């Protein structure tokens, strides 16, 4: 079974390129430009990784990350942006890629992120 990645970005071209590339790397890649739809998808099916843009008109990626974590606590959520933004560091989420991104670098960082233990698992070690 392939891991599912949900790409959320308000730019159609970025979503399409990421979805095609991630599908080519063997993932089930879903995409949407609508953060509310992304939240609904995360409630309906397991999402291994949410790759979201930070700067979007309908909802900041950092807010989307919080809402998806509530719906799906095991989903890993790295952020991407084409802009310098002060929202990334305080969010506690990793910065995966600056747009435009190199597809090989994207694949490597997605694999590394998926391989990491969830944050709550690290905290529960005795």
Instruction: Name the band, by pLDDT with cuts 50, 70 and 90, for residue 77.
Output: confident
ω into residue 35 within 30 of 0, thus cis? no
Prediction pTM value: 0.80
56-72 per-position pLDDT tens digit: 888 988 899 999 999 99
Number of domains in the chain: 1
pLDDT band at 83 (very low <50, low <70, confident <90, very high): low
Structural domain boundaries enclosing 64: 4-123
- Residue 104 belongs to a domain with what CATH number? 3.40.50.2300
To the nearest 10°, the Cα dihedral for 33, 34, 40, 42? 40
State yes or no: pLDDT of 114 exceeds 70. yes
Residue pair 65/77 in contact by the 8 Å Cβ criterion: yes
For the chain, give the percent of residues with pLDDT over 90.
Answer: 44
Q: Cα torsion at 90, 93, 98, 100 (round to 10°)?
A: -130
């Amino acid at each position: 079974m392939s891991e599912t990645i949900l790409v959320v970005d308000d730019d159609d071209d970025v979503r399409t390129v990421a979805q095609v590339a991630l599908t080519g790397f063997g993932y089930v890649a879903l995409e949407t430009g609508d953060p509310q739809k992304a939240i609904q998808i995360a409630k309906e099916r397991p999402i291994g990784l949410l790759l979201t843009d930070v700067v979007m008109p309908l909802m900041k990626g950092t807010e989307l990350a919080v809402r998806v974590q509530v719906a799906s606590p095991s989903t890993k959520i790295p952020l991407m942006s084409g802009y310098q933004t002060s929202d990334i560091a305080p969010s506690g989420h990793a910065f995966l890629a600056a747009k435009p991104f190199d597809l090989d670098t994207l694949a490597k960082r997605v694999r590394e992120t998926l391989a990491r233990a969830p944050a709550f698992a690290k905290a529960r070690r005795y």
